[in-house]
């Protein structure tokens, strides 16, 4: 997995809308990088596993004009080193855009999960993006809730709100802040794997209070586990909708505040969640499981 973030170079260097695009991004964004090069963009790619010879970083390092950096958004040393490198290698025309797609996913009912599980999700999904600018990748789950996804939903709602605040604050400088809201791309990104789901399940059950175990029961826990295992192969395998949305957010003269990169199902579900009475959403998607 590639995980990306660029420290606040835009403000530290005092560079406003130039003609060269510098970006750090992750996961499906390797495709974006490869498409960006023919447009003449210079790309700074932050990779979580560059120091371990990650496949994505190896592929990107072979492309001229792409600078591959070791970058873990929870590691201050990585952030400082990335900032220094970008300062020293930024093109003369400066910085144009930044894509932040740092993200992790876990699962479990709220009472099942430890505080550390929530903190871990927030450290990457929420606190990391606070140091980034321009294009933040949230999720359709930043617009609605979902059972068993409490920690993930918490961080994506937080990122949506943060991006709105940043958009209002940066408008005076002519800086656009966009949010990408992907739907279900688990099959494409492998953000959840069967091995990972089993590992989380074991740790979650072992760390759960006896009273909570008694209240929910092992049968409920096992049912939730099977649901998450089935979810590992779900969703779209084609990342094109996300790449198209990110490209538009970076290159359009008048970018939208939000881009939904998802199927019609999730577009409708988001609309119901945000525009209709809560009871309508609960009846359709919780009671009848549409």
152, 259, 266, 281: the active-site residue = 152
CB 138 within 8 A of CB 101: no
CA pair distance 41, 36, nearest whole angstrom = 6
CA 179 to chain centre: 10
Q: Say whether 152 is catalytic.
A: yes
Q: Which are the catalytic amino acids? A: 152
């Amino acid at each position: 997995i590639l995980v990306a973030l660029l420290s606040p170079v835009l403000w530290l260097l005092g560079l406003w809308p130039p003609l060269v695009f510098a970006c750090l991004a992750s996961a499906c964004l390797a495709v974006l990088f490869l498409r960006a090069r023919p447009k003449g963009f210079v790309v700074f790619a932050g990779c979580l596993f560059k120091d371990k010879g990650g496949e994505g970083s190896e592929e990107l390092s072979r492309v001229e004009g792409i600078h591959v950096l070791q970058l873990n958004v929870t590691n201050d040393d990585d952030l400082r080193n990335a900032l220094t490198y970008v300062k020293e290698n930024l093109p003369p025309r400066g910085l144009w855009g930044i894509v932040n797609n740092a993200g992790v996913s876990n699962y479990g009912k709220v009472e099942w999960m430890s505080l550390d599980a929530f903190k871990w999700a927030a450290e990457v999904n929420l606190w990391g993006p606070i140091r980034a600018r321009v294009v933040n990748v949230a999720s359709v789950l930043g617009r609605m809730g979902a059972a068993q996804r409490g920690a993930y939903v918490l961080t994506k709602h937080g990122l949506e709100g943060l991006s709105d605040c940043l958009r209002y604050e940066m408008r005076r400088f002519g800086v656009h802040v966009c949010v990408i809201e992907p739907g279900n791309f688990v099959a494409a990104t492998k953000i959840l794997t069967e091995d990972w789901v089993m590992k989380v399940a074991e740790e979650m059950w072992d760390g759960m209070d006896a009273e909570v175990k008694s209240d929910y029961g092992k049968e409920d826990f096992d049912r939730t586990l099977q649901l998450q295992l089935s979810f590992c192969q779900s969703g779209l395998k084609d990342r094109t909708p996300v790449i198209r949305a990110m490209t538009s957010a970076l290159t359009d003269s008048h970018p939208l505040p939000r881009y939904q990169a998802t199927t019609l199902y999730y577009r409708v579900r988001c609309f119901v969640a945000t525009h209709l009475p809560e009871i309508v959403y609960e009846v359709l998607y919780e009671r009848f499981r549409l």
